[in-house]
Amino acid sequence: MRGRDLISIADLSAEELELVLSVAARLKRDGYPAALAGRSLALLFEKPSLRTRVSFDVAMQQLGGHAVYLPQSEVGLGQREPVADVARVLSRYVHGIVARTYAQQTLLDLAEHASVPVINALSDDEHPCQALADLLTIVECKGAVRGVRVAFVGDGNNVARSLVQGGTLAGAHVTVSSPPGYRLSEEAMLEAEEFARASGGSFRTVQSPQEAVADADVVYTDVWTSMGQEQSYQERQRAFAQYRVTPELMTLARPDAIFMHDLPAHRGEETVDEVIEGPQSVVFDQAENRLHAQRAVLFLLMSDVRE
């Protein structure tokens, strides 16, 4: 995988996804070498972040390298300077680019013109690094991803798409429950069906949260209103009112089901304190696993070590 880009979970084969998760688990368990000593990573962010920025910065330090944070206010990506020029200049300075953008096309343009690996740290379409952390957490809690029943309740957004990609690629049985007008894109659903056929998993969408959660091993939700969607806040509050993950909804899942959320959470909206602070919640394990999953990505894409 050395020198590759990671723009989407769909960029990975099932075997490569398994490799990333196994390397993440090993580095978490056994420690990590200074495999990126003397190497630098650009953190190119159009959107603010807590988990993404800190976890990539710390992961790079742990591997012996150095991260440089570049906010939009300094770079003016696509405004003060064309994306292609930014990519070519940074390729002369650093050994990898982590980009957190609005448009997926910005990442594609960066990858096209950069001569170093480009990693998607979130776009409006996909969030592959979050999905890797999610799958690592599921493996830790359930022993594997294959055969696990995953229910996602809420907006068919970037987090949902990458979770669905990763889950179906790894052989999980994934159900997504969203209100009309907020489902996954047709492209994302067709992709998930294709992955599920190849892996022995399954994928379906339903409108009822109760139907989705019934007998699930994993119940996952995300915010109803993401960054850049603030103008539709009231409309989304009405549309998702019946999609809140409550203790009552969790009783429909298996007794040992886990609750997942990628954070930040809007408590009282998509879920409540009794769930996110309850015994089934693994949300802070998920947050920690951003560090471990991304460290594995950096290790595999940017080091000279062969796996």
199-212 pLDDT, tens digit per residue, is 999 999 999 999 99
pTM: 0.96
Helix axes 283-302, 14-30, angle to 10 degrees: 110
Q: How confident is the model at residue 230 (pLDDT cuts 50, 70, 90)?
A: confident
What percent of the chain is modeled with pLDDT above 70? 99
SS (H, E, C) the chain: CCCCCECCHHHCCHHHHHHHHHHHHHHHHHCCCCCCCCCEEEEEECCCCCHHHHHHHHHHHHCCCEEEEEEHHHHCECCCECHHHHHHHHHHHCCEEEEECCCHHHHHHHHHHCCCCEEECCCCCCCHHHHHHHHHHHHHHHCCCCCCEEEEECCCCHHHHHHHHHHHHCCCEEEEECCCCCCCCHHHHHHHHHHHHHHCCEEEEECCHHHHHCCCCEEEECCCCCCCCHHHHHHHHHHCCCCCECHHHHCCCCCCCEEEECCCCCECCCECHHHHCCCCECHHHHHHHHHHHHHHHHHHHHCCCCC
What percent of the chain is modeled with pLDDT above 90? 92
pLDDT (0 to 100) of residue 307:
63
pLDDT (0 to 100) of residue 226:
78
pLDDT (0 to 100) of residue 258:
98
pLDDT (0 to 100) of residue 134:
98
pLDDT (0 to 100) of residue 231:
78
In this prediction, residues 169-197 reach a mean pLDDT of: 97
In this prediction, residues 292-302 reach a mean pLDDT of: 98
In this prediction, residues 161-175 reach a mean pLDDT of: 98
Q: Length of the chain, please?
A: 307
Q: How confident is the model at residue 225 (pLDDT cuts 50, 70, 90)?
A: confident
Mean pLDDT of the chain, nearest integer: 96
Largest Cα–Cα separation, the chain: 55
Between 307 and 245, name the one with better pLDDT. Answer: 245
pLDDT (0 to 100) of residue 232:
85
Instruction: Give residues with Cβ within 8 angstroms of 165, minimum separation 6.
Output: 8, 9, 10, 126, 128, 131, 188, 191, 192, 195
Q: How confident is the model at residue 78 (pLDDT cuts 50, 70, 90)?
A: confident
CATH numbers and ranges of domains, the chain: 9-126+290-302 (3.40.50.1370), 130-287 (3.40.50.1370)
pLDDT (0 to 100) of residue 211:
98
